[in-house]
């Protein structure tokens, strides 16, 4: 059987099955996660986009009402695939878990009214993360009729500052439970998260703070032995200056040739804009260098001038598949 080109590229570029997307707040994690889910669904596959923070960012991105705790189709992907989305709620996950292991049923719902479920997910540090990652693992490994239900699972994960704690559930549960189902579950999650099935992608902008946090997060993930996938530079702009430095005299000549105004305000204004742009570009180049030094594949997504809408997501998804293999 021959594989089509995009599928082959996809397998080279995105070998994992579970894709965890993190990044500093404000870098566009949710957008990138959604675009990646679309990219991995292209050509008739099915992916699950998971939200774990109750922010309803995916609903906002797709302009739908808040999503319930259930896997539902949110959009079609290029070539016939589909993306489903799941907004995991820790309380619901606990109820589901209690039902599964203890058949709590109606009693569970009564407890919820009492506030006991909310209480249990907040008193035990880490329990929330164990439940969330446990659900992610379940979806990633779920089979039906001998086939995997999802070709890939993409998690819109907590930001860089919390990602280590979120993924290192063993450490948290070790403080809580030495034996029992929670311990068993977290051990299973750990095995998955530290296997080649998983890749954590870090989204950044070409700005100092996000790049610094990317460096710190990758360092932390390396220490935790959790596999790091791509560094994804979001909202990258193509360099606009090819011809190097420009003088005011040069600008005046050019503006005259173009039949545009050449008054002092226009010339000095344009000159200042170019200078700022060059300063910015220099900083961005040095930040790119810092990212390359991390030794992970870096890929850049274009800034969408019209903002991110459904079409924009397709553009980003295509960029994620088209990126050259490093």
Partner 1 sequence: MSSDQHPPRLDIDRILSDPGVRIVVCCGSGGVGKTTTAAALALRAAEQHGRRTVVLTIDPARRLAQSLGLTELDNTPRPVKGVGEGTDGSLHAMMLDMKRTFDEVVLAHTDPAKAAEIFANPFYQAMSSTFSGTQEYMAMEKLGHLHAQGEWDLIVVDTPPSRSALDFLDAPARLGRFLDGRMLRLLLAPARAGGRSVFGLVTASFGVFSRVVQKVLGAQLLTDLSGFVAALDSMFGGFRQRAEQTFQILQAPETAFLVVATPEKDAIREAAYFARRLGEERMPLAGLVVNRVHGTQVPQLSAEASLAAAAAFADAGEQAPTADALRIHAALAALADRERAVTAGFAAEFPEVATVSVTAQPADVHDIDGLRMIGSAISQP
Site for partner 1 in 4-33 (CB under 8 A): 24-27
Q: Quick check: 302 binds partner 1 (CB under 8 A)?
A: no
- Which of 11, 76, 191, 209 is the binder for partner 1 (CB under 8 A)? 209
Three-class SS state of 48: strand
Neighbours of 250 (CB within 10 A): 13
Per rule CB under 8 A, is residue 208 in the interface with partner 1? yes
Contact mark string toward partner 1, 120..139, x via CB under 8 A: x-xxxxxxx-----------
The structure tokens 């979806």 sit at 139
Contacts of 305 (CB under 8 A, 6+ apart): none
x/- binding map, residues 249-268, to partner 1, per CB under 8 A?
Answer: -xx-xxx-xxxxx---xx-x
If binding is defined by CB under 8 A, does position 64 make contact with partner 1?
A: no
- Taking CB under 8 A as the rule, which mask of x and - marks residues 161-180 in contact with partner 1? x---x------x--xxxxxx
* H helix count then E strand count, the chain: 14, 10
- Helix, strand, coil share (%) of the chain residues, nearest 5: 55, 15, 30
Q: Is 310 in the site for partner 1 (CB under 8 A)?
A: no
Output the six-digit token pair for 268. Answer: 């000095």
Is residue 242 involved in binding partner 1 (CB under 8 A)?
A: yes
CB of 232 to partner 1, least distance (A): 16
- Closer CB to partner 1, residue 73 or residue 253? 253
What is the contact mask toward partner 1 in residues 65 to 94, using x (rule: CB under 8 A)? ------------------------------
Integer angstrom CA distances of residue 308 from 35, 47, 83, 311? 10, 20, 17, 8
Count of residues that interact with partner 1, criterion CB under 8 A: 80
Long-range contacts of 180-183 (CB under 8 A, 24+ apart): 181/101, 182/127, 182/130
* Binder of partner 1 out of 244, 264, 293, 325 (CB under 8 A): 244
Partners of 203 in the β-ladder: 23, 232
């Amino acid at each position: 059987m021959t594989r089509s080109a995009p599928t082959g590229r996809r397998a080279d570029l995105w070998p994992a099955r579970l894709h965890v997307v993190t990044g500093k707040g404000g870098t566009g994690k949710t957008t990138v996660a959604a675009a990646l889910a679309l990219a991995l669904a292209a050509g008739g596959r099915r992916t699950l986009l998971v939200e774990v923070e109750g922010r309803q960012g995916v609903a906002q991105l797709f302009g739908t009402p808040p999503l319930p705790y259930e896997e539902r189709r949110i959009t079609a992907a290029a070539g016939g695939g589909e993306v489903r989305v799941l907004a995991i709620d820790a309380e619901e996950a606990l109820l589901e878990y209690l039902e599964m292991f203890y058949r709590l049923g109606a009693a569970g719902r009564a407890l919820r009214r009492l506030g006991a479920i909310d209480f249990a997910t907040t008193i035990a540090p880490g329990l929330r993360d164990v439940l969330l990652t446990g659900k992610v693992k379940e979806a990633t490994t779920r089979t039906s009729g001998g086939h995997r239900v999802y070709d890939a699972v993409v998690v819109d994960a907590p930001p860089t500052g919390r990602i280590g704690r979120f993924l290192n559930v063993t450490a948290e549960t070790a403080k809580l439970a030495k034996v029992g189902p929670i311990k068993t579950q977290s051990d299973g999650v750990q095995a998955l998260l530290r296997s080649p099935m998983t890749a954590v992608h870090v989204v950044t902008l070409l700005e100092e703070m996000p790049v610094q946090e990317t460096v710190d997060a990758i360092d932390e993930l390396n220490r935790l032995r959790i596999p790091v996938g791509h560094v994804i530079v979001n909202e990258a702009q193509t360099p606009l200056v090819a011809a190097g430095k420009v003088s005011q005299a040069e600008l005046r000549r050019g503006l005259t040739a173009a039949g545009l105004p050449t008054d002092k305000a226009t010339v000095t204004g344009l000159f200042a804009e170019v200078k700022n742009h060059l300063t910015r570009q220099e900083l961005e180049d040095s930040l790119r260098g810092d990212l390359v030094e991390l030794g992970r594949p870096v890929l850049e997504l274009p800034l969408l001038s019209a903002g991110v809408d459904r079409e924009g997501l397709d553009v980003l998804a295509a960029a994620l598949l088209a990126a050259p293999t490093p």
